[in-house]
Amino acid sequence: MARLPPSGILLVLLVVGGGALLFNYFYQQLLQQRTGEAADHVTAALVGKPRPDFSLPDLDGFPREISEWDGRILVLNFWASWCLPCRREMPVFVELQQEYADRGVQFIGVAVDRRPAVEEFLQELGVTINYPILIGEDDAIEIAQAYGNSLGVLPYTVLVDRAGRIAHLQYGEIKKSQLRQLLEGVGDKR
């Protein structure tokens, strides 16, 4: 079996890396195009409405009701182990959960995935998750749809105010600065 010279390995890495960057760019463009009009319609229909109830098991297999966090500002994030933007968001969520916990903010991850894939993903991530992760598989897809994600986009984040009303819907990756601004705005409303 022939070995590639170092310059060949570098070329392969550049091609693969460049391909990944291009895929991510075009994926984001397609996501914006697909979600633009649909997101506006869904947002108008759901923002200000009560959040749907649901129950899913956590990582330990115990059923958790969304209502147990009533009275808090919720950042409900739907994600999957294969989702690269989800991987980028999680360390931000860990940081902001730490920062905003004493202000009544609760992050909740809802995995649209199987338990073994979630456990492996969290081990590989290398970040200690400081908020509940609920495992939903197919049920999580139905819950995401009830929260307005009819397009099946991941990640998908929903901000719920202290009164249990939907305050914001986010298709795709949410940036730290945007989420911080949203939390400040929702936190002012009591």
Name the pTM for this structure. Answer: 0.77
- 8 Å CB contact between 63 and 56: yes
Domain range summary for the chain, segments of one domain joined by +: 34-187
- pLDDT value at position 177? 95
Low-confidence stretches of the chain (pLDDT < 50) are 190
- pLDDT value at position 62? 96
Residue 159 CB: number of other CB atoms within 10 A?
24
- pLDDT value at position 163? 96
Residue 13 CB: number of other CB atoms within 10 A?
10
Q: Which amino acid is at 170?
A: Q
- pLDDT value at position 126? 83
Say which CATH topology domain 34-187 has.
Glutaredoxin (3.40.30)
Q: Which amino acid is at 52?
A: P
- pLDDT value at position 57? 97
Per the DSSP assignment, residues forming a β-bridge with 15 are none
Task: Name the 3-class secondary structure at 51.
Answer: coil
81-117 pLDDT per residue, tens = 999 999 999 999 999 999 999 999 999 999 999 999 9
Helix (H) or strand (E) holding 175: none
- 8 Å CB contact between 76 and 160: yes
Phi and psi angles of residue 136, each rounded to the nearest 5 degrees, phi first: -120, -25
